[in-house]
Structure 1
Amino acid sequence: MPTLTRLYSMQEAAQHNTGEDCWVVIDGKVYNVTSYLDEHPGGDDILLAATGKDATDDFEDAGHSKSARELMQEYCIGELDPSAMAFPQLEIYSTEQSTDPLKKIMGVTTQYWVVPVAIAGISLVAGVLYLRTK
């Protein structure tokens, strides 16, 4: 009799991303590796960094042994639901662009605080250098 496999979405698997509750996704399968974190030869930080994404490439790049692949089966809790594959959200930007150069500059300076701070810093340095030459 075939065993029923629980299906998980990537969003659901990605929510388990702490040392107290850690799931990873490799080759379309979901693994609860929470109890294995302390035993992982590469350290728990490697597994924690693999949460929230498909870690298949990371797993394959590490060159895991046959015994490591067999050990993984103990931690398998289900598979990714192929019908719930996430699509990246599109960001929509306005195509309206101002032709007024002052508005463009003001938009940049309000959006990025670095520009006004840099202008003030350059002015200060120029003032100090000017006063030293007198």
Structure 2
Amino acid sequence: MPSLTKLFSMAEASQHNTKDDCWVVIDGKVYDLSSYLDEHPGGDDIVLAATGKDATDDFEDAGHSKTAKELMQSFFIGELDTSDIPELEIVSKNPTSEVYAKKLIDLTKQFWVVPTMVVGVSVLVGFLYMRKK
């Protein structure tokens, strides 16, 4: 038996981003909050800023009450179609020790003047101090 739940793409959901037509995606579910914007305790700007993207983190970070989560169900219109979301390739960004060594050598070549000046000034101050005694 096929599912009766309507599926929406993220592109389709993100097109509904005005005060008169506002859809939000939370936890893979699509909600039409158009009729609720004026009543939203945080204001309509917060909800409108959450359109066009997955607002799950924003919703959770706001610390909505159990009552708010139950009220949300009355605005449910469908689910996000995850079949058209491209898979992301995970690439490691951990450079090897060779890369770190090369960067360190480059830095030391680039900034040799400062440590050399510090040593030079220290030797000069030490020489002047010893000469005074």
Structure 2 counterpart of 1:111: none
Q: Deviations over 1:54-106 (max 9, x none)?
A: 00000000000000000000000000011022578xxxxxxxxxxxxxxxxxx
Name the CA distance, whole Å, in 2 between partners of 1:13 and 1:84. 13
Ranges of 4+ aligned residues in structure 1 off by more than 3 Å: none
Task: Please state which structure has a larger fraction of its residues in helix.
Answer: 2
Unaligned ranges ≥5, structure 2: 89-133
The 3-state SS of whatever aligns with 2:39 is: coil
The 3-state SS of whatever aligns with 2:41 is: coil
Larger of the two Rg values belongs to structure: 2
Structure 2 counterpart of 1:51: 51
1:81 matched to 2:107? The reply is no
Task: Give the alignment's TM-score, normalised by structure 2.
Answer: 0.62
CA contact (8 A) 1:10 1:86 kept: no
How many residue pairs match? The answer is 88
Could you tell me which amino acid in structure 1 is paired with residue 32 of structure 2? N
Name the CA distance, whole Å, in 1 between partners of 2:39 and 2:7. 27
The share of aligned pairs that are identical, in percent, is 75
Task: Give the alignment's TM-score, normalised by structure 1.
Answer: 0.62
